Amino acid sequence: MFDDGRLGMTGKYALRFVSLGYLAVLLVAPVSYVFWKTFEHGFGPAWEAVTTPNAVHALKVTLILTAVAVPANTIFGVLCALAIVRHRFPGAGIVNAVVDLPLALSPVVVGLALLLLYGREGWLGGHGVVFALPGMALATIFVSLPFVVREVVPVLREIGTEQEQAAATLGASAVQTFRRVTWPAIRWAVAYGVVLTTARALGEFGAVSVVSGRLAGETETLTLHVQDRYQSFDEVGAYASAVVLALIAVTTLILMTRLKPKEETQ
Amino acid sequence: MIEARGIVKRFGDFTALDGISVEVPTGSLTALLGPSGSGKSTLLRVIAGLEHPDEGQIILEGEDVTRVAPQSRGVGFVFQHYAAFKHMTVWENVAFGLRIRRRPRAEVKQRVTELLDLVQLARLGDRYPAQLSGGQRQRMGLARALAVDPKVLLLDEPFGALDARVRKELRLWLRRLHDETHTTTVIVTHDQEEAMEVADRVVVMNAGAIEQTAAPRELYDHPANEFVMSFVGPVNRLGDAFIRPHDVELLLEPNGSTQEAMVERLVHLGFEVRVELVRDDGEHLSAQLTREQVEALELQRGQIVYVRPTRQTVFTAS
């Protein structure tokens, strides 16, 4: 494209500088700062901060919510993607649009909606949903719903229906076709969707904040605990819990990349 | 035998098959030939059970399978774009149908080895489809379809995505394969040369209906109507008459029944030469001559010649 070549080199370095600089300022700097603040006074205080009963309980709540939301949204997500791509039914377009709603709505609005619907005065209210784990699970599921669907839909579109038809003419039932033909084609999209869902579920703040009631040691998740500690001027406690969150997310990501075989070429 | 009786298939307002009835004799190799949109692929998919007809019946070897799922019809289907299972090796692709049927491991191994030999892919069994050429992928598709001993083999434009040379090779190869296996086979194609070369019987389709069913030679020599005449080979029109380019004789002097024309272009095709002519009323026609004939006439561009049809076909309006 460039006759001169030097211009090409300049362009290449400029591109690298801009993209790496952007990542450094917006991602690496704040995260590094959190890590640094956590271990500023050594490992001891940080460990103490994350092993207080409230911090441990908050971690447990976060893990429970994630363990509920991720499998639910994975199964629903795959079924929903299959319905959107493979079946022509009235309202498929609406379903496709509604799936994106959690991305567009502010989580606080979601929390408020759940509060109004399931709260003491709500239509379906009064049965220990709000200010308890069920409500928080609903909020977490809601906000982390789109990811698996969004990852799987384009892959299903791309692989088309011919392989599935071929499997059918060779005698495979719908279940056998899904297991042997469709699933192997979409599993990495599902895995990536699961990672995104997990990250979202771990990090959710707004919606859960509204429906939880924020009772330390009861309905406090790790993200809520971080804010609680920060507002109580316990900086080490806040940063240390943030580091725990970051470590869980990074571990998920590493596990996923580890599971994925190196050659996944078309 | 495959029988389709009064098949109607509509997609919304579009009628893809308009009451088609056709019989494919056991052991034959029949081509469904027609332009795109003629309904030939839809008919094949209806026979396989991949589409459900709105009306009519499909009968395979005497059994009405109209309501039977594709899984239980015992058909082998070969797709234009291969439909290879991308995450499986060639070997696993071919073994798929046998494994679904839970055949013993030794039998699967023997059968797949046999088939890979048959389609000349024995040494590529552990490759993935992405590592094969188009021709190899389609041979794999054929082996995969044949693995389950289908009652009928259905091929949907199987060579349509391949380049011309490979296409010709595979055509010949398919014909030889059929002569060995005698599996009742239906091949869909829009290429008249392919249909004529490979099939014993050709069903010419147009706009969701059948125009003519005949052996290739019969089809060429005695086309039932204008559509078939012009679809199965090049054709000139002189008034009401249809003339094949090789039935056009060129003379240097007029003689009663001849028509005057000017040589517009000489196209050398090896042994044959196509002479493109234009008549004084602006009508174009072409004549197919041998090189010797062109040299004997000393034809030149711009020369005036006299055209005489040696054989022509006139269709009476029905």
Distance from CA of B15 to the nearest CA of A (A): 20
Domain count, chain B: 2
**Residue where a domain stops, chosen among B169, B201, B228:** B228
For residues B198 and B257, membership in a common domain is answered with no
For residues B28 and B116, membership in a common domain is answered with yes
**Residue where a domain stops, chosen among B228, B247, B280:** B228
For residues B221 and B242, membership in a common domain is answered with no
For residues B181 and B269, membership in a common domain is answered with no
Tell me the DSSP string of B110-135. HHHHHHHHHTT-GGGTTS-GGGS-HH
Q: The complex's ipTM? A: 0.87
Q: What is the pLDDT of residue A96?
A: 84
Do B71 and A168 lie within an 8 Å CB cutoff?
yes
Q: What is the pLDDT of residue A1?
A: 46
Q: What would the pLDDT profile of A216-236 be if each residue is shown by its tens digit? A: 888 899 999 999 999 999 988
Residue B152 with chain A: CB contacts under 8 Å: none
Strand order in the sheet with B236-238: B236-238, B241-243, B313-314
For residues B218 and B257, membership in a common domain is answered with no
Do B148 and A184 lie within an 8 Å CB cutoff?
no
B152 phi and psi angles, rounded to 5 deg: -135, 150
Residue A171 with chain B: CB contacts under 8 Å: 71-72, 97, 100-101, 148
Q: What is the pLDDT of residue A7?
A: 64
**Residue where a domain stops, chosen among B228, B263, B292:** B228
| Residue B191 pLDDT greater than 60, yes or no | yes
Strand order in the sheet with B209-214: B75-78, B152-156, B184-189, B29-33, B201-206, B209-214
The H or E element spanning position B6 is strand B2-11
Q: How far apart are CA A56 and CA A115, in angstroms?
A: 26
Higher pLDDT pick, A257 / A135: A135
Structural domain of residue B195, as residue ranges? 2-228
Q: How far apart are CA B52 and CA B54, in angstroms?
A: 7
For residues B187 and B257, membership in a common domain is answered with no
Residue B305, domain CATH: 2.40.50.100
Q: What is the pLDDT of residue A60?
A: 95
Q: What would the pLDDT profile of A34-46 be if each residue is shown by its tens digit? A: 889 888 888 888 8
DSSP state of A182: I
User: Between the ranges A86-95, A229-238, B132-141, where is the mean pLDDT highest?
Assistant: B132-141
pTM over 0.80: yes
For residues B94 and B199, membership in a common domain is answered with yes
Degrees to nearest 5, angle at CA A113 with A112 and A116: 85
Q: How far apart are CA B63 and CA B162, in angstroms?
A: 36
> Token pair of A24, please?
């450094």
Distance from CA of A262 to the nearest CA of B (A): 14
Q: How far apart are CA A72 and CA A195, in angstroms?
A: 14
For residues B123 and B6, membership in a common domain is answered with yes
Low-confidence winner among A3-7, A159-163, B135-139, B205-209 (lowest mean pLDDT): A3-7
For residues B267 and B148, membership in a common domain is answered with no
For residues B33 and B98, membership in a common domain is answered with yes
Tell me the DSSP string of B61-88. TTEE-TTS-GGGS-EEEE-TT----TTS
| Residue B306 pLDDT greater than 80, yes or no | yes
| Residue B122 pLDDT greater than 50, yes or no | yes
Q: What share of chain B is helix, strand, coil (3-state, %, to 5)?
A: 30, 35, 35
Compare CB distances from A165 to B83, B87, B144 and report the shortest one's residue: B83
For residues B167 and B297, membership in a common domain is answered with no
The residue among B122, B313, B141 whose CA lies nearest residue B235 is B313
Q: What is the pLDDT of residue B317?
A: 65
Strand order in the sheet with B14-24: B14-24, B2-11, B55-60, B63-64
CA–chain centroid gap for B64, Å, is 27
Residue B90, domain CATH: 3.40.50.300
Q: What would the pLDDT profile of A169-203 be if each residue is shown by its tens digit? A: 999 999 999 999 999 999 999 999 999 999 999 99
B145 touches chain A (CB under 8 A): yes
For residues B195 and B309, membership in a common domain is answered with no
